[in-house]
Chain A
């Protein structure tokens, strides 16, 4: 499975934008870039995903580099509720389409 690299932690102020980076230099052409987050004491939660183009949804935006070797999850206005571990994951056509979690980035949001 292709690997992703994320910073261990990041800090943000409430109501400011947050840019969470992810490197995935060994991504294959059929890998989708998924982002999930895990709030304290909860199960992982889907945030957003994309293949080549930038994506927006009600939770966040995903900016994908032209060579697809990196991506950035953008939270437009961080709230205290966004404090969580954010996982950047590649999902491809391997058996079962499983999700392999790394350590993720722990986001701290200051009031």
Chain B
């Protein structure tokens, strides 16, 4: 069965450093997403991406965040200058197109900012 993969599984960084989280969505999917989950809290939508541009973003997704699909397979989330409150699990997801299709989520990257 196809799956979304994410690397690394755990990233530790110092406050103020830039991090890039990587995802490989399912190959024929068209919509890509990033979500985050702070420990003990609910999963929060960050951004959706379609046709090489951001389709929608949440209030959390401020200027410190950016997304990119640098080639035909990878989808990345960059945090320019990490803060302590960016510590969370970050999940990548992808879907074919319409809301009638399910989203597939990756296993997540645990980001720890010290």
Contacts and interface: CB of A to CB of B under 8 A. Distances in A.
Interface of A: 30-32, 34, 36, 38, 42-46, 49, 51, 87, 91-104
Contact of A97 (B31, B42, B44): B31
17 contacts: A31-B99, A38-B43, A42-B107, A43-B108, A44-B91, A44-B103, A45-B105, A46-B102, A46-B103, A46-B105, A93-B99, A95-B55, A95-B56, A97-B48, A99-B35, A101-B35, A102-B42
B31 A96 contact: yes
Given A44-B91, A46-B103, A98 B33 contact: yes
Contacts of A51: 100
Contacts of A32: 99-100
Q: Is the interface of B mostly helix, strand, loop or mixed?
A: strand
Q: Is the interface of A mostly helix, strand, loop or mixed?
A: loop
A94 to B, nearest CB: 7
Interface residues of B, number: 27
B93 interface: yes
Contacts of B105: 36, 43-46
A46 B100 contact: no
B42 A99 contact: no
B67 to A, nearest CB: 12
Contacts of B95: 97
B45 interface: yes
Contacts of B43: 38, 44, 87, 101
